[in-house]
A and B are shown apart, each in its own frame.
Chain A
Amino acid sequence: MKLLRHLAVLAFAAGTAIAHAATIGYIYVGPEKDYGYNTSMDLGRKFVEKNIPGTKTLHVENIPETAEVEKVMERMIKQGGASIIFATSYGYLDYAIALGKKYPKVAFLHAGGLKTGDNVGTYWANSDDAMYLAGMAAGAVSKSGKLGFIAAFPIPQVVRSINAFTLGAQAMNPNATTTVVWTGGWLQPPKEAEATNSLADAGIDVIGEQVDSPMTIAQTAEKRGIYMVGKDVDVSKLAPKAVLTGASWNWGPTMLKLTKEIQAGKWKPSHVRGDLKDGTVVLDPFGPAVPEGVRKTVLAKKDDILKDKFIVWSGPMTGQDGKAILPAGTRMPMEQLESMNFFVKGVVGTVQ
């Protein structure tokens, strides 16, 4: 079924991709309509298509992080005529690097990797600032001081979110803890529902999350009468009482800029990183459960972040085991940040 869909997309592309200088291929790890991570990437694709007349995009969904993605990329290039490829999932990196060597004239852009090639660059946006601010709201609203976090896999980008969320909560309540539950999959609605129930039963009253779609966790939290903080896409309309705020993506401008650079021949592969400041990451509107005073404190901190007066990843910082990670007055280097494999103090759970 999946294969048929790919073939249909590519057959269509092969027949019509003559007139345009640039055809861009997009590959998603889950359904494009997941109301989460893949939807956010697809919104970026539509933004590029709309803003560069004559540019055409191909996209395939549900491609696992295996050798299958290499075949899909190759088909996009050979049959679809793609000259730019957005490989939007973490595990696609090595395949993009390998294909980059094979197709030197194609530009590859990987979401969030730490390796580049002669024609392979990465793009990402750091959600940490927004997750920290959302954590502040979570820490302030929580009555028990016990927060939860439901996450797919312990990769650095997720570990960073958990830590930033916890640090934000502790800024409002120094005793706040975050209990982590791993689901072992990017899209596992039944497990996400039961994980939310388990955390609620354990007396946890606010849940953060980083799975592909925030839908299930938001709606289960609403059903259980607890709160949640969203990620990737704003789900407040699905759970108006439960959603406190969230950290959403806005990939369009970054993807547009990169595409224009490549088309103009001015692109050099590098690690492009956006954040709250340039608008690639957005702090979602507050829900009704966040009191006025808390909103003001959070927004004041946001202002500090935008003006570089406050940096989330700065010392002093203590690890889960109580040992110092960063001395006071120092900033965490990018390499340490992007390969993070430890929890800060107050996180309950294991990085496996």
Chain B
Amino acid sequence: MNIDKDLVAAMATPLVLAILVQGTSYGYAILGRVRELSGGDVEWTDGMLYPLLHRLERLGYIGAEWGASPEGRRRRYYEITEAGRAQLVEQRTQWATANRTLGALWGQTASPAGA
């Protein structure tokens, strides 16, 4: 199952922030993590991650620093900031509300159909 493009776009910010909350990371690894978590259902054009990361950086949600990979390759590492954590909490509440609202509807209609 592939998730609709708009929904992926809406998920992008909380997804990246939530991954970075678990620790500093870099673009390629973030995408790997997304793929792994969703079992490949969340399709992401890899290149689109970077403009998003830059946007989050400009908004002050994450910080970035050049570093090196263990193999000595130049890499840009991203780290969540306090503002980013606050934003994630905010996003999480919104998603929980959306989830609860839809869940309440689908929970009701699903059971009679299933019975």
Q: Do A and B bind each other?
A: no
